[in-house]
Chain A
Amino acid sequence: MLKIEDLVVEVEGRTILNRISLEIPEGETHILFGPNGSGKSTLMMTIMGFSGYRVKSGHIWFKGEDITRMPIHERARLGIGVAFQRPPAINGLKTRDVVSLCAGQQPANVEELAQKANFADFLDRDLNLNFSGGEMKRSEMLQLMAQSPDLVLLDEPESGVDLENVVLLGEIINELLGRGVRQREKEGPIAHREKKSKSALVITHTGHILNYITADKGHVLYNGVLCCARNAREILQWIREYGYEECFRCAS
């Protein structure tokens, strides 16, 4: 689904990512661990193609296409969706209208999706304007549900969300990714087997979100270098026990 090869990225003349290689097969959820400032968000913004993130060398492949130089909206239309950590507020633009825009040509029942994301009361509010941390996350998830991307990029989905709402957020993410027990109960085992799960890359530095979603693999990013790839929970254990530095030392 997503393949990153030897990627070097500069921001304002400084190298932030150094020779990153990473592959996320179809249907897998990968977790990207790393301390603050390690380059996690840079990787996500580069995959999406935001300005200010200069690819000096290397390639990003998505569904077999080289998207390294592709404009943002074409990547989105090809099936990449991102939930931002701190999305900008847009004055006068109703959340309802943005959710419809996210759906593009696909039919979308905005009300029904909003119910699922527990966000129906916010549809007539200006997008992200005076939303709390948890509300922003739910708004991002709702937009992604409408967009229905094949690869979902989640930047610190649990940050700024209180404990009570993390559970709900986890359910929404599982719904979005087509994973999790609740999803299976509702649709029955046969229906689920026919439905493919989405691919996902989830950024976290606390690892709390792992209590609520299923991860297939974890990666550690430290100082712009990917230094470890293995079972996500195992990595989290290591980080909790020994910290990121030790994790980095072990790998090198």
Chain B
Amino acid sequence: MRELDDKNKAAARDDNSSHKTGYKDQADPHAYLEQLDNVDPEEARQWLNVGVDITGQNRSGTFIQKDCSVLHSGCGSADVEIMGISQALQTHDWLSDYMWRLVSPEKDDYTRMTRDIPHEGYFIRSLPGAQVAEPVQSCLYISEEGLSQHVHNVVIAEENSSIHIITGCATAEHLRSGLHVGVSEFYVKKNATLHFTMIHRWGEQIEVRPRTGIYVEEGGTVVSNYISLRPVGSLQMNPVTYLAGKDSVARFNSILVAPPGCELDTGSTVILEHPGARAEIISRAITTGGTIIARGEMDARVEGVKGHLECKGLILKEGIMHAIPELVGRVPGVDMSHEAAVGKIDQREIEYLMARGLDEETAVSTIVRGFLNVDIEGLPPGLAEEIDQVVSETQHDAI
């Protein structure tokens, strides 16, 4: 694999978006657990809320990090490797070649923090040709008040392999403040498929700054789903995906709900640099009083690539919804389109369903549920109920 050129690096949005100061950068260590049976039930419940099940049922492997310590990592399948990043660096001397390749350590304050004071992170790898049937789950959890957690994750889907990863990020219920920085580098090799589902459920005042780079080789596919339904202090992220091989594919779906006081600045950048590359970015966002910036950028650099962006936002009562779809074509023969819509629920849709016998409240919640119902493969069970609950909590804002 070649080094990324400077032009690509420049495409990664340099963002030093401000954050609060005064966080501490160390936490008391937590002992490693061979078994998860004795985990505090309250913590287990928080993890389950983000799709991480300590029983490991219907999962190929599990990784759990609490504050700065790897709490558990285990895998029942010979097709997958899953472990903390520092252990992985000891296991594979080649792994350092994959670190800081897709995300520059000098990108911004957050990447520098992660380079200078690293706090673990996960390494997940599907071996060549492996078809990992059940998802691997990983949880990044903060329980220490005022912690600035900096993790560095690497995922490698080797040639002709297929894997689904569910990552849940959460904080302890009592936590008031904290900063989470996650540097993630994903490599999807030739004809491999990576399904990545990230569910965030941070605290109301937590600041979150993921920094992600994804590299997809010939015939490879990455599908990334991002779900944030609960209040978070502020979130700013814009993963950059390089479709660096012929017929490589990227699909991004995000489902965002921003309650009052919540600031979400999320987006995706996809660089299509080989013929046959295809990209799709779909975002569905609802503000019930918070601010949402939904970005999407596609940069088509060669002929024969195709991309579609879709940003749809609902403002139920108040809040700010800012959709920023951007398309760049650098040569003729590219096929790029976008669709953005911001507004309230269409009265015609409400009355249409009322004409079928639904009362107004049911009609509104049916529409909102549909709006959030992007077809996402392999969502953990329970998430549908979570969406239902959020819908029922927000629907009174809509009427």
Cross-chain contact B370 with A92 (CB below 8 angstroms): yes
B372 proximity list for chain A (CB < 8 A)? 92
B348, B359, B371, B373: the one contacting A73 at CB < 8 Å is B359
Interface residues of B (CB under 8 A from A): 284, 312, 346-349, 351-360, 363, 366-367, 369-374
CB neighbours (8 Å) of A126 from chain B are 370
A61, CB-defined interface residue at 8 Å: no
**A69: interface (CB < 8 Å):** no
Give the residue among A51, A71, A90 with the most B Cβ atoms within 10 A. Answer: A90
CB distance from A61 to the nearest CB of B (A): 19
CB-CB < 8 A to A102: which residues of B?
356-357
Task: Decide if the interface of chain A is mainly helix, strand, loop or mixed.
Answer: mixed
Give bound CA distance, A20 to B356, whole Å. 25
CA distance A48 to B353 in the complex (A): 12
Whether A91 is near chain B, meaning CB under 8 Å from some CB there, is yes
What count of chain A residues pass the 8 Å CB interface test? 28
Q: Is A87 an interface residue (CB 8 A)?
A: yes
Q: Which of B353, B355, B359, B370 contacts A91 (CB 8 A)?
A: B370
| CA A71 to CA B348, docked complex, whole Å | 14
Are A93 and B355 in touch, CB under 8 angstroms?
no
Residue A214 interfacial (CB < 8 Å)? no
Q: Are B357 and A77 in contact (CB under 8 A)?
A: yes
User: How far, in whole Å, are A22 and B357 apart by their CA atoms in the complex?
Assistant: 24
B354 CB contacts on chain A under 8 angstroms: 71-73, 76
Closest Cβ of chain A to B340, distance in Å, is 13
A104-B349 contact given A92-B374, A93-B373, CB 8 Å threshold: no
Docked Cα-Cα span, A101 to B367, in Å, equals 12
Give me 10 other A-B pairs in contact (C-beta within 8 A), A90-B367, A97-B366, A101-B366 excluded. A50-B351, A50-B355, A76-B357, A87-B352, A88-B346, A92-B369, A92-B374, A104-B357, A143-B356, A147-B356
Q: Footprint of B on A, CB under 8 Å?
A: 48, 50-51, 71-73, 75-77, 81-82, 84, 87-88, 90-94, 97-98, 101-102, 104, 126-127, 143, 147
Measured between alpha carbons, how far is A87 from B373 in the docked complex, in Å?
A: 20
Cross-chain contact B356 with A98 (CB below 8 angstroms): yes
Contact of A84 (CB < 8 Å), options: B346, B352, B366? B352
B371 surroundings in chain A (CB, below 8 A)? 91-92
Q: Which residues of B contact A48 (CB under 8 A)?
A: 355
C-alpha gap A98/B352 in the complex (Å): 11
Contacts of A101 in B (CB 8 A): 353, 356-358, 366
**Bound-complex Cα distance A97 to B369 (A):** 12
